[in-house]
Amino acid sequence: MKKQATLEVAIEKKSFVGIKTGRKPNPESNRQKRLAELNAKIEAGVTIQRGRPVSSDSERQKRIAELETKRASGELKLGRRVNESSARQLRLKELEARRANGELKRGRPAKSKVETNDVNLIDMLKDMEAK
């Protein structure tokens, strides 16, 4: 009753001049009766079952339960399985082994240094100053 009173007040305050609001629902229709019963049950606190009931004996429910137990134990892994004998996996193992031995350093390799005659030039300058 309170909801209807507030709705009527809200409708009276708004002005729908020139706007078609559609036809009014028939309160005697089966759908309106069913909706009224549902609203009454909700207000009374009755739990309403929605959707199709779940059969715990079905194959799908068994599979879901099995997957949950595997997920909890850590047996179930997401994604695609890794082929250990693939070229990429072999290369990654080799790189990991080289990193562990300290043979491989991170990042881009440094440019190879070409020996210059800078040291000789410095020595020559020192020798000239000494003379």
pLDDT at 115 over 70: no
Query: Any idea which residue has 């028939």 for tokens?
Result: 26
- For residue 42, the surrounding DSSP H or E stretch is helix 30-44
Question: In 10 A of CB 104, how many CB atoms?
Answer: 13
Kindly state the percentage of the chain with pLDDT values over 90: 39
Lowest mean pLDDT among 4-18, 67-81, 88-102: 4-18
Q: Which residue has the higher pLDDT, 59 or 121?
A: 59
DSSP state of 25: P
Q: Is the pLDDT of residue 10 over 60?
A: no
For residue 101, the Cα-to-chain-centroid distance in whole angstroms is 38
**Mean pLDDT, all residues of the chain:** 82
Q: Tens digit of pLDDT for each residue in 64-93? A: 999 999 999 988 888 888 999 999 999 999
Which element (helix H / strand E) includes 71? helix 59-73
What does the pLDDT read at residue 108? 78
**Mean pLDDT over residues 5-26, rounded?**
67
Q: What is the CA radius of gyration of the chain?
A: 40
What is the DSSP secondary structure assignment for residue 16, as one 8-state letter?
Answer: -
Say how far apart CA 58 and CA 47 lie, in whole Å.
25
Rounded CA-CA distance 35/41 in Å is 10
More confident residue, 67 or 12: 67
